[in-house]
Amino acid sequence: MKYLLSLFIFIAFNGITQTHTNYKENKTYTYEETASIYTNFANQSPEYCKLINAGPSDYGKDIQLFLLNRAGNFTPKYITNQNVILINNAIHPGEPCGVDACIKLIEELLAHPKSIPSNLTLAIIPMYNVGGAHNRGCCSRANQNGPNEYGFRGNAQNLDLNRDFIKADSKNTKTFYRIFHSLAPAVFIDTHTSNGADYQYIMTLITSQKDKMNPHISDLTMNSLNPYLYKKMELAGYPMTPYVNTIKSIPDEGLVGFLETPRYSTGYTNLFNTISYVTEAHMLKPYHKRVESTYQFIKIMLDYMSNNEKLLKDTKIKANNSIKNQKVFPLNWTLDQTKSDSILFAGYKAIYKKSEVTHLDRLFYDQNQPFKKYIRFCNEYNSSHQIEKSNYYIIPQAYSKIVQLLQANNVNVYQLTEDVLLNVSVAYIKTFETVSFPYEGHYLHYNQTVRNSSKSKTYIKGDYVIPLTDNKSRFIIETLEPQAVDSYFSWNYFDGVLQRKEGFSAYVFEDEAETMLIENPALLDSLNEKRKNDEAFAQNSHAQLYYLYTQSEHFEPTINQYPITRTNDLINPQNLIQLPPLSSVY
């Protein structure tokens, strides 16, 4: 009886009466079950945690945010003065390791409150892709070993939310913006399950690409945090390797560091000097082991953050200050395969044998032939373009949708209170390519080049002014410079400028074209040169007339003119009014 009474007192004081072990039975929780579990956590232990409905999803149900710290203080001032770790689960609900790992972690922390770190706040998005989480089934992940039932990769709009962090087509992403900028986390983890090759590791890791990080963040990540994570995970029985992104077809031929541009979660969060990771538990390993490896990784990260509070804070301050003072920003990155490291890799022998299905050669990983050997790891990227920071970007008020996206990312936005004449740099789109099939709801542009021209231009009352004076400058440049890989131009927000609005009738323009050639011998020479060098052009009368039309006074000057300009002029603060900041999730 005395033992039972003691047990009752222990449970009552710790507020945890349920053990959540679904994952051990090859199961994962639904959205409703997950929401109920976190509601119970918050209700039973309000002195340590809080559950917030952070904002809408495309599905119609809210995205939740769970906060936990030792002090039970969830005011913005307290949280932003701490180091915050933000964990995002189920961006792909068919990869639910983090859902169960975080439930396991919170249950253990609340059962033993003294184990809650005293100097950080843990923030968890229990289930980010709400729509995909409700589209459950057994079989959409063809190569995955459990759980028995899980959600679907596409959200309620059938978007892959891990491609939406810049274009923001979903309500989910806009809610993420509010969460992220309210917390300003020191560390971000996005939990996933891998596809691809077979190998011995349960856990692989994507570290945000080191060369495009701020140097202060890169130095801490690569020389302090990563060695700690890899060492401690091995001691915990879950040795890791970098994400198995192969150079060719099999790991033996080497791995490439994953380049996560800003469309991806960690590419986005790293723009704001947040140390960012994707955990990729291996699809072929039993589900309970994938959950437990994810759980161990998060626990080890909490230990590092708790033991290195000042280092993390100081590093982020240095990084933010350096962004404010940075003059030149790199854009776009290319892999340098002439540089590589060797890493010890634990894999399985890859062999090719005759397929019983196609009767052709097929790849097969023989788990009866494990190996450990050194392989190449290419993780050196070079910037392929650089941009010099200006004082301001100027956005015509016709493009209010762009301004709304900037505001949603906590960018300082001002409007002109009167007309102003400015000296600006105008970009014209020279060349670009476009995907031939829709990519995440867009016909994405790539490989764009521009030419720049200087001019004086009058901007009118209500046009928008974006200063580059704080640590948001990198995000602003990555989205507003048209040649950036994930710029708003790349995602089709300015396609209107690429289409002519006027034209000509050939039979009318012929006479004027003839006069132009008579009056301008240099133009005739250039036309003859094009005919000489381009046989198709020489045989195409309309193409020749169009070439002359582009040289005439009729050709519209705004074709391919990017509407957002840059200026180094100083604008009188009295001519500016600041727009309201982003609303908080608190």
Mean pLDDT across the stretch 152-180? 98
How far is the first Cα of the chain from the last one, in angstroms, to the nearest whole number?
45
Can you read off the two tokens belonging to residue 390?
């200006």
Residue 170, pLDDT > 60, answer: yes
Which stretch of DSSP H or E encloses residue 303? helix 287-307
C-alpha span between 54 and 48 (Å, rounded): 18
Residue 1, pLDDT > 60, answer: no
Mean pLDDT across the stretch 87-94? 98
Q: Omega into 46 within 30° of 0, i.e. cis? A: no
Q: What values do phi and psi take at 281, rounded to 5?
A: -75, 140
Residue 43, pLDDT > 60, answer: yes
In 3-state terms, what secondary structure has residue 40?
helix
- 525-531's contacts with Cβ under 8 Å and 24+ in sequence apart are none
Can you read off the two tokens belonging to residue 37?
């579990």
Q: Given the DSSP bridges, would you call strands 83-88 and 255-256 parallel, antiparallel or unpaired?
A: unpaired
pLDDT bucket at 2, cuts 50 / 70 / 90: very low
C-alpha span between 63 and 155 (Å, rounded): 13
Q: How many residues are there in the chain? A: 586
In tens, the pLDDT along 508-547 reads 999 999 999 999 999 999 999 999 999 999 999 999 999 9
Mean pLDDT across the stretch 250-273? 97
The percentage of the chain sitting over the pLDDT mark of 90, rounded to a whole number, equals 95
C-alpha span between 199 and 367 (Å, rounded): 8
- At 160 the pLDDT is 98
Strand order in the sheet with 120-125: 49-56, 62-68, 120-125, 83-88, 187-193, 275-281, 203-207, 240-242
Q: Given the DSSP bridges, would you call strands 62-68 and 49-56 parallel, antiparallel or unpaired?
A: antiparallel
C-alpha span between 328 and 323 (Å, rounded): 10
C-alpha span between 459 and 463 (Å, rounded): 6
pLDDT bucket at 558, cuts 50 / 70 / 90: very high
Q: Which residues pair with 459 in a beta bridge?
A: 420
Taken in order 393, 398, 402, 407, the sign of the CA dihedral is positive
- Given a contact cutoff of 8 angstroms between Cβ atoms, the answer to whether 254 and 377 are in contact is yes
- Given a contact cutoff of 8 angstroms between Cβ atoms, the answer to whether 128 and 89 are in contact is yes
C-alpha span between 52 and 45 (Å, rounded): 14
The percentage of the chain sitting over the pLDDT mark of 70, rounded to a whole number, equals 97
pLDDT bucket at 12, cuts 50 / 70 / 90: very low
pLDDT bucket at 343, cuts 50 / 70 / 90: very high
C-alpha span between 184 and 168 (Å, rounded): 19
Q: Name the pTM for this structure.
A: 0.94
Can you read off the two tokens belonging to residue 360?
């052709």
Closest to 547 measured CA to CA, from 575, 576, 524 = 524
C-alpha span between 174 and 180 (Å, rounded): 10
Q: Look up tokens 């051990």; give the residue.
A: 24
Give DSSP secondary structure letters for 341-377.
EEEEEEEEEEEEEE-TTTSSEEEEEEEEEEEEEEEEE
- Given a contact cutoff of 8 angstroms between Cβ atoms, the answer to whether 245 and 278 are in contact is no
Domains of the chain: 32-324 (3.40.630.10), 390-500+560-578 (no CATH), 506-550 (no CATH)
Closest to 427 measured CA to CA, from 538, 561, 296 = 561
Residue type, 125: I
Mean pLDDT across the stretch 67-92? 96
pLDDT bucket at 52, cuts 50 / 70 / 90: very high
- At 296 the pLDDT is 98
Using CA atoms, how far residue 459 sits from 292, 424, 495, 578, 586, in Å, is: 58, 10, 22, 17, 37
Rounded to the nearest 5 degrees, what angle is found at the Cα of 107, between the Cα atoms of 101 and 112? 130
- Given a contact cutoff of 8 angstroms between Cβ atoms, the answer to whether 95 and 191 are in contact is yes
Burial of 510 (0-12, 13-18, 19+ CB in 10 A): middle
Can you read off the two tokens belonging to residue 114?
């003294």
Buried b (16+ CB within 10 A) or exposed e, 531-556: eeeeeeeeeeeeebbbbbbeeeeeee
In tens, the pLDDT along 289-309 reads 999 999 999 999 999 999 999
User: Average model confidence (pLDDT) for the chain?
Assistant: 95
C-alpha span between 22 and 104 (Å, rounded): 10
**In 409-494, alpha helices (H):** 473-480
Rounded to the nearest 5 degrees, what angle is found at the Cα of 190, between the Cα atoms of 187 and 195? 140
In tens, the pLDDT along 446-481 reads 999 999 999 999 999 999 999 999 999 999 999 999
In 3-state terms, what secondary structure has residue 458?
strand
What lies within 8 Å, CB to CB, of 575 at 6+ separation is 416, 417, 418, 420
Q: What values do phi and psi take at 449, rounded to 5?
A: -125, 155
C-alpha span between 239 and 522 (Å, rounded): 69
Closest to 545 measured CA to CA, from 568, 570, 581, 517 = 517
C-alpha span between 341 and 288 (Å, rounded): 33
